[in-house]
Structures are given as C-alpha cells and as structure tokens.
Amino acid sequence: MTAGCNCRSVEWTENMIRTISPLRANFGRCTACAVRSLSICGALDETDLVEFERIARQVHLAPSEALFSAGQVASSVHNLTAGVARLYKLLPDGRRQVIGFALPGDFLGTMPSIRYSYSADAIKRVSACRFPVDAFKHFIEQRPHFLLRINEFASRELMLAQQQMLLLGRRTAEEKVAAFLVGWRARLAHIGDERQTVSLPMSRQDIADYLGLTIETVSRTLTRFEREKMLVIVSGGVRLLDCPRAEAMAAA
C-alpha cells in the first residue's frame, strides 16, 4: 500500500540538464541561476543575492534520497533548483498521501514550525539550495519585499492545496486522473518544459497516493483514456491527444 522507489536512473531531458548546470564555482551561482525568476529569489536584487548566497548550501540528491523527513526538527528551508521531488505524509500503518510534487523554483519552507510536517524526497535527481532557518529568518526580516514574495508563494500553495481538497473529496477516479494530467502539464509549462508529451517522472504509486486512489485504478483509468483516444501512454509519460476533453473532465 505504500512507497514505490523508482530508483532506476532515467534519462535527462535537455530541460532538466539546463536547470541543473550552475554548480561549478562558489560565487555567482545565484546570478546565473536558471530558475531564479521562478523562485522566491526573483524578488532579490544583485546586492541581496550576494548576501543570500552566503547563507545557502547546495545539496544534491539521487532518486529516492530524502531532502527531509516528517517529524525531524525543521532546521532548514529549501529552494528546489533542479529535479522533481515528492512531498508526502504517512499514517502509522503505512498509508501514504502525496501532498504535492516539487519542481525547480519551488520553495519548501515550513516556517513557523518546529518540526517538518511532511517528508520530501527526490523522484528525479534533485538539486536544492538549503538555508538554515535562523539565518533565513534573519535575512527576510529585514527585507519586507522578499517576505511579501514568500507570502505570495505561500498563498499560491494554499490555493493549490484547497483545489486538491476538492479533488480528493468530491471527484471521481476519472476526473482525478484527468485533472492531474492537465495540472501537471500546466506546471511543466510554467517552468518552461512545454512539449507535446507530458513527462511523468513519478511512479504510478506516487500518482495514486497523490489522488487518493490505488495504483490499479490509476493504471486502468489511463488505459481507458488511451482506448478512448484521449492520450497515448509512452515510456516516462503520456502524449495528450485530446486536451480539450481532458480539460473538460478536469473542470467538470
């Protein structure tokens, strides 16, 4: 009922490689950061960036390695710069709810909390900037515009969470899967990975745990969508043939 490792190393799309790149020197990483404008750092000017960079540490994770785990003392906040991570909560008996997937530019900071309330680990090889909470807090407290930006990100996150509540509580399996595909495609487009084929780096188990379904139901639903010519299942993703139909399902 749980987990799903997906440790197999998957080929990198050109896009992923590009967003990972700048880790050579210890200086000027931030100014060269490909996802800066997408991330909370987009609110920082050159001067702030230099100082911000000073409190950051780069971390790199292979697939299935943990960025942090629920219950640990929350000593750091993170900014994803490359790869894909899954964020999830577990029940004592092993039931799992994936509460989201993190993409480059996403900020993972459970700020006023003493412990992480969820776990995060890599699906595809992840790079992230790690900031000690104390230094991070100190930094933002004297930069109101930055705090404002973080607030916007938190609000967006909250809206997505509420959208997901509607999906989990009131939608059918078919609607859930369609909404997931449409939503995921939009998120990939947002970070510049807009292709005909929607890449799905996460396992079927991850998708099932995200949608509150079983792996079998996800699989069957995708298969049916393929039979009905809405999409084609390809290795590592799906190619959407009938987007309007998918979007109608996701909305209705």
Partner DNA sequence: CAGGCCAGTTGATCGAGATCAATTGGGTTC
Partner DNA sequence: GAACCCAATTGATCTCGATCAACTGGCCTG
* Interface contacts to DNA, rule CB under 7 A: 1, 4-6, 8-9, 172-174, 203-205, 212-220, 222-223, 233, 235
Radius of gyration of the chain (CA): 18
Closest CA to 80 of 39, 141, 115: 39
Partner that binds at residue 152, options DNA, a second copy, none, CB closer than 5 to 8 Å by kind = a second copy
Partner that binds at residue 157, options DNA, a second copy, none, CB closer than 5 to 8 Å by kind = a second copy
Contact partners, residue 21, CB within 8 Å, separation at least 6? 34
CB of 195 to a second copy, least distance (A): 29
Pairing of strands 107-108, 66-68: unpaired
Nearer to a second copy, 16 or 108 (CB): 108
The answer to whether 16 and 124 have CB atoms below 8 angstroms apart is yes
Partner that binds at residue 156, options DNA, a second copy, none, CB closer than 5 to 8 Å by kind = a second copy
The answer to whether 240 and 185 have CB atoms below 8 angstroms apart is yes
Partner that binds at residue 220, options a second copy, DNA, none, CB closer than 5 to 8 Å by kind = DNA
CB of 134 to a second copy, least distance (A): 15
Q: Which helix (H) or strand (E) holds 234?
A: strand 231-234
CB of 217 to DNA, least distance (A): 3
Nearer to DNA, 4 or 105 (CB): 4
Contact partners, residue 202, CB within 8 Å, separation at least 6? 6, 84, 86, 101, 123, 210
Distance CA 201, CA 137 (A): 33
Number of Cβ within a 10 Å radius of residue 132: 14
Partner that binds at residue 168, options DNA, a second copy, none, CB closer than 5 to 8 Å by kind = a second copy
CB of 164 to a second copy, least distance (A): 6
Nearer to DNA, 18 or 220 (CB): 220
Q: Which residues bind a second copy (CB under 8 A)?
A: 89, 91-93, 95-97, 99, 110-113, 117-118, 141-142, 144, 147-148, 150-152, 154-159, 161-166, 168-171, 209, 211-212, 251-252
Question: Residues, the chain, total?
Answer: 252
